[in-house]
Amino acid sequence: MASTIRLFVEAALCDGALINLPQTQAHYLGAVMRRKAGDELVLFNGRDGQWHGRLARLDKKTASVTVLTQTREQQSAPDLWLLFAPIKRAPLDQMAQKATELGVSGLMPVMTERTIVSRVKTDRLKANAIEAAEQTERLDLPEIFEAQKLPDLLAQWSADKGGRRILFCDEELADGKEAPTIEQALMPFKDKALPWAVLVGPEGGFTDKERVHLKSLPFVTTAKLGPRILRADTAAYAALTLWQSVLGDW
Protein backbone atom coordinates (compact mmCIF):
# COMPACT_ATOMS: atom_id res chain seq x y z
CA MET A 1 0.00 0.00 0.00
CA ALA A 2 1.38 3.39 -0.99
CA SER A 3 1.85 5.75 1.93
CA THR A 4 0.37 9.23 1.77
CA ILE A 5 2.71 11.89 0.40
CA ARG A 6 3.18 15.04 2.46
CA LEU A 7 4.11 18.18 0.51
CA PHE A 8 5.17 21.67 1.48
CA VAL A 9 3.55 24.36 -0.68
CA GLU A 10 4.00 28.13 -0.73
CA ALA A 11 0.34 28.96 -1.50
CA ALA A 12 -2.37 29.69 1.05
CA LEU A 13 -4.41 26.62 2.05
CA CYS A 14 -8.17 26.89 2.39
CA ASP A 15 -11.28 24.90 1.61
CA GLY A 16 -11.68 24.26 -2.13
CA ALA A 17 -8.56 26.14 -3.27
CA LEU A 18 -6.85 24.90 -6.45
CA ILE A 19 -3.07 25.01 -6.15
CA ASN A 20 -0.57 24.72 -8.98
CA LEU A 21 2.58 22.83 -7.99
CA PRO A 22 6.03 23.65 -9.39
CA GLN A 23 7.63 21.36 -11.99
CA THR A 24 9.95 19.71 -9.43
CA GLN A 25 6.96 18.53 -7.41
CA ALA A 26 5.09 17.39 -10.56
CA HIS A 27 8.16 15.31 -11.46
CA TYR A 28 8.42 13.91 -7.93
CA LEU A 29 4.73 12.95 -7.80
CA GLY A 30 4.57 11.42 -11.28
CA ALA A 31 7.97 10.05 -12.28
CA VAL A 32 9.31 9.22 -8.81
CA MET A 33 6.24 8.31 -6.76
CA ARG A 34 3.99 7.10 -9.63
CA ARG A 35 0.91 9.01 -8.49
CA LYS A 36 -1.92 9.94 -10.83
CA ALA A 37 -4.82 12.41 -10.98
CA GLY A 38 -7.39 11.56 -8.29
CA ASP A 39 -4.82 10.40 -5.70
CA GLU A 40 -4.94 12.02 -2.28
CA LEU A 41 -2.06 13.77 -0.57
CA VAL A 42 -1.31 15.90 2.47
CA LEU A 43 -0.36 19.59 2.26
CA PHE A 44 1.13 22.17 4.63
CA ASN A 45 2.61 25.63 4.12
CA GLY A 46 3.99 26.55 7.53
CA ARG A 47 1.04 28.86 8.26
CA ASP A 48 -2.38 27.26 7.73
CA GLY A 49 -2.10 23.86 9.42
CA GLN A 50 -2.33 20.55 7.56
CA TRP A 51 -4.83 19.75 4.81
CA HIS A 52 -5.96 16.84 2.73
CA GLY A 53 -5.90 17.43 -1.01
CA ARG A 54 -6.57 15.54 -4.23
CA LEU A 55 -4.45 15.66 -7.39
CA ALA A 56 -6.67 17.41 -9.95
CA ARG A 57 -4.17 17.18 -12.80
CA LEU A 58 -0.73 15.61 -13.24
CA ASP A 59 1.49 15.45 -16.28
CA LYS A 60 5.26 15.57 -16.75
CA LYS A 61 5.69 19.25 -16.10
CA THR A 62 2.60 20.48 -14.30
CA ALA A 63 0.41 19.38 -11.45
CA SER A 64 -2.45 20.92 -9.53
CA VAL A 65 -4.14 19.94 -6.29
CA THR A 66 -7.61 20.65 -4.98
CA VAL A 67 -7.51 21.45 -1.26
CA LEU A 68 -10.17 19.46 0.63
CA THR A 69 -10.30 19.58 4.44
CA GLN A 70 -8.06 20.71 7.27
CA THR A 71 -6.77 17.79 9.34
CA ARG A 72 -4.50 19.58 11.82
CA GLU A 73 -4.44 23.09 13.27
CA GLN A 74 -1.27 25.12 12.81
CA GLN A 75 1.27 24.59 15.61
CA SER A 76 4.57 26.27 16.24
CA ALA A 77 7.82 24.81 17.54
CA PRO A 78 9.33 26.51 20.60
CA ASP A 79 11.36 29.63 19.80
CA LEU A 80 14.84 28.13 19.54
CA TRP A 81 17.39 29.09 16.89
CA LEU A 82 20.51 27.21 15.89
CA LEU A 83 23.53 29.42 15.20
CA PHE A 84 26.21 27.34 13.49
CA ALA A 85 29.53 27.85 11.78
CA PRO A 86 28.98 26.44 8.29
CA ILE A 87 30.73 23.17 7.45
CA LYS A 88 31.17 21.21 4.23
CA ARG A 89 28.12 20.67 2.06
CA ALA A 90 26.95 17.17 2.96
CA PRO A 91 27.22 17.58 6.76
CA LEU A 92 25.53 20.98 6.43
CA ASP A 93 22.56 19.40 4.61
CA GLN A 94 22.35 16.86 7.42
CA MET A 95 22.56 19.52 10.10
CA ALA A 96 19.74 21.60 8.55
CA GLN A 97 17.54 18.50 8.34
CA LYS A 98 18.23 17.19 11.82
CA ALA A 99 17.91 20.60 13.46
CA THR A 100 14.49 20.90 11.78
CA GLU A 101 13.48 17.48 13.15
CA LEU A 102 14.69 18.58 16.59
CA GLY A 103 12.34 21.55 16.38
CA VAL A 104 14.41 24.70 15.73
CA SER A 105 12.52 27.83 14.71
CA GLY A 106 15.51 29.52 13.06
CA LEU A 107 18.77 28.54 11.33
CA MET A 108 21.57 31.10 11.07
CA PRO A 109 25.06 30.50 9.64
CA VAL A 110 27.71 32.38 11.62
CA MET A 111 31.21 33.09 10.32
CA THR A 112 33.86 32.61 13.02
CA GLU A 113 37.65 33.07 12.91
CA ARG A 114 38.22 29.41 12.10
CA THR A 115 35.33 29.05 9.63
CA ILE A 116 36.73 27.80 6.33
CA VAL A 117 33.54 27.81 4.25
CA SER A 118 33.12 31.30 2.77
CA ARG A 119 29.61 31.19 1.34
CA VAL A 120 26.40 29.52 2.44
CA LYS A 121 23.54 28.85 0.07
CA THR A 122 20.50 29.76 2.11
CA ASP A 123 18.28 28.28 -0.65
CA ARG A 124 19.89 24.94 0.01
CA LEU A 125 19.35 25.27 3.76
CA LYS A 126 15.69 26.01 3.11
CA ALA A 127 15.30 23.03 0.76
CA ASN A 128 16.76 20.75 3.43
CA ALA A 129 14.51 22.19 6.12
CA ILE A 130 11.46 21.66 3.88
CA GLU A 131 12.48 18.06 3.16
CA ALA A 132 12.83 17.33 6.88
CA ALA A 133 9.51 19.01 7.69
CA GLU A 134 7.71 17.06 4.93
CA GLN A 135 9.02 13.75 6.24
CA THR A 136 8.58 14.32 9.95
CA GLU A 137 5.06 15.75 10.28
CA ARG A 138 6.28 19.18 11.30
CA LEU A 139 3.77 21.93 10.41
CA ASP A 140 6.00 25.00 10.53
CA LEU A 141 9.37 25.69 8.94
CA PRO A 142 12.42 27.20 10.59
CA GLU A 143 13.23 30.70 9.38
CA ILE A 144 16.49 30.75 7.40
CA PHE A 145 18.72 33.76 8.06
CA GLU A 146 21.58 35.12 5.95
CA ALA A 147 25.09 34.36 7.21
CA GLN A 148 26.61 36.89 9.61
CA LYS A 149 30.04 37.42 11.09
CA LEU A 150 30.17 36.49 14.77
CA PRO A 151 31.44 39.89 16.05
CA ASP A 152 28.77 41.77 14.04
CA LEU A 153 26.06 39.42 15.24
CA LEU A 154 27.05 39.79 18.88
CA ALA A 155 27.43 43.57 18.61
CA GLN A 156 23.81 43.91 17.41
CA TRP A 157 22.41 41.13 19.55
CA SER A 158 21.09 42.78 22.67
CA ALA A 159 19.46 45.62 20.72
CA ASP A 160 17.83 43.47 18.02
CA LYS A 161 17.11 40.08 19.43
CA GLY A 162 14.40 40.86 21.96
CA GLY A 163 15.85 39.19 25.05
CA ARG A 164 16.88 36.05 23.19
CA ARG A 165 19.61 34.18 25.09
CA ILE A 166 22.52 32.21 23.61
CA LEU A 167 23.49 28.78 24.95
CA PHE A 168 27.23 28.39 24.40
CA CYS A 169 28.84 25.01 25.09
CA ASP A 170 32.26 25.22 26.72
CA GLU A 171 34.09 23.36 29.48
CA GLU A 172 34.86 26.46 31.53
CA LEU A 173 33.07 29.55 32.75
CA ALA A 174 34.55 33.05 32.40
CA ASP A 175 36.19 32.72 35.85
CA GLY A 176 37.94 29.46 34.91
CA LYS A 177 35.62 27.27 37.00
CA GLU A 178 34.06 24.15 35.49
CA ALA A 179 30.89 25.00 33.59
CA PRO A 180 27.56 23.53 34.78
CA THR A 181 25.71 20.92 32.73
CA ILE A 182 23.12 22.21 30.26
CA GLU A 183 20.37 20.97 32.55
CA GLN A 184 21.80 22.89 35.52
CA ALA A 185 22.43 25.99 33.43
CA LEU A 186 18.92 26.10 31.92
CA MET A 187 16.93 25.22 35.03
CA PRO A 188 16.78 28.84 36.35
CA PHE A 189 15.11 29.87 33.06
CA LYS A 190 12.40 27.21 33.27
CA ASP A 191 9.43 29.51 33.87
CA LYS A 192 10.61 32.52 31.91
CA ALA A 193 9.50 31.55 28.37
CA LEU A 194 12.41 33.41 26.75
CA PRO A 195 13.51 32.84 23.17
CA TRP A 196 16.88 31.05 22.91
CA ALA A 197 19.63 30.15 20.45
CA VAL A 198 22.13 27.29 20.60
CA LEU A 199 25.56 28.29 19.26
CA VAL A 200 27.98 25.68 17.91
CA GLY A 201 31.44 26.33 16.52
CA PRO A 202 33.39 25.27 13.44
CA GLU A 203 35.70 22.27 13.13
CA GLY A 204 38.61 23.23 15.37
CA GLY A 205 36.32 25.16 17.71
CA PHE A 206 36.18 28.83 18.61
CA THR A 207 39.41 30.77 19.20
CA ASP A 208 40.34 31.75 22.77
CA LYS A 209 39.50 35.35 21.88
CA GLU A 210 36.02 34.37 20.70
CA ARG A 211 35.45 32.22 23.80
CA VAL A 212 36.44 35.01 26.19
CA HIS A 213 34.25 37.49 24.30
CA LEU A 214 31.22 35.19 24.32
CA LYS A 215 31.50 34.49 28.03
CA SER A 216 31.67 38.22 28.82
CA LEU A 217 28.23 38.88 27.33
CA PRO A 218 25.16 39.17 29.58
CA PHE A 219 22.91 37.26 27.16
CA VAL A 220 25.22 34.22 26.92
CA THR A 221 24.75 31.12 29.13
CA THR A 222 27.77 28.80 29.21
CA ALA A 223 27.36 25.08 29.88
CA LYS A 224 29.37 21.91 29.29
CA LEU A 225 28.40 19.03 27.06
CA GLY A 226 29.78 15.83 28.60
CA PRO A 227 33.34 14.56 29.04
CA ARG A 228 34.00 13.54 25.42
CA ILE A 229 34.83 15.92 22.60
CA LEU A 230 31.94 16.14 20.12
CA ARG A 231 32.07 17.20 16.51
CA ALA A 232 30.19 20.42 15.79
CA ASP A 233 27.10 18.74 14.34
CA THR A 234 26.90 16.14 17.13
CA ALA A 235 27.22 18.95 19.70
CA ALA A 236 24.34 20.75 17.99
CA TYR A 237 22.04 17.69 18.17
CA ALA A 238 22.94 17.05 21.82
CA ALA A 239 22.47 20.68 22.90
CA LEU A 240 19.16 21.05 21.00
CA THR A 241 17.90 17.80 22.57
CA LEU A 242 18.75 18.90 26.11
CA TRP A 243 17.26 22.37 25.53
CA GLN A 244 14.02 20.75 24.30
CA SER A 245 14.03 18.46 27.31
CA VAL A 246 14.47 21.26 29.87
CA LEU A 247 12.85 24.35 28.30
CA GLY A 248 11.14 23.11 25.14
CA ASP A 249 8.10 21.00 24.28
CA TRP A 250 9.49 17.49 24.93
Contact set for a second copy, span 137-156 (CB under 8 A):
137-138
Q: Taking the complex as a whole, how short is the minimal distance between the CB of residue 229 and a second copy, in angstroms?
A: 4
Phi, psi angles (nearest 5°) of residue 231 = -65, 160
d(CA 227, CA 171): 9
Question: Binder to a second copy among 64, 66, 122, 244 (CB under 8 A)?
Answer: 244
Residue 92 or 154 with smaller CB distance to a second copy: 92
Question: Binder to a second copy among 79, 93, 101, 143 (CB under 8 A)?
Answer: 101
Q: How far is CA 21 from the centre of its chain?
A: 24
The stretch among 24-32, 99-107, 146-154, 211-219 that binds a second copy (CB under 8 A) is: 99-107
Question: Binder to a second copy among 183, 209, 212, 216 (CB under 8 A)?
Answer: 183
Residue 114 or 161 with smaller CB distance to a second copy: 114
Q: Mask of contacts with a second copy, 210-239, x by CB under 8 A? A: ---------------xxxxxxx-xx--xx-
Residue 2 or 159 with smaller CB distance to a second copy: 2
Contact set for a second copy, span 42-81 (CB under 8 A):
77
The answer to whether 98 contacts a second copy (rule: CB under 8 A) is yes
Q: Taking the complex as a whole, how short is the minimal distance between the CB of residue 66 and a second copy, in angstroms?
A: 26
The answer to whether 10 contacts a second copy (rule: CB under 8 A) is no
Size of the site for a second copy (CB under 8 A): 32
- 44 to each of 8, 49, 70, 128, 231, how far by Cα in Å? 5, 6, 10, 16, 34
d(CA 21, CA 68): 16
Q: Taking the complex as a whole, how short is the minimal distance between the CB of residue 189 and a second copy, in angstroms?
A: 17
Instruction: Name the residues that contact a second copy, by CB under 8 A.
Output: 77, 94, 97-98, 101-103, 135-138, 181-183, 225-231, 233-234, 237-238, 241-242, 244-245, 248-250
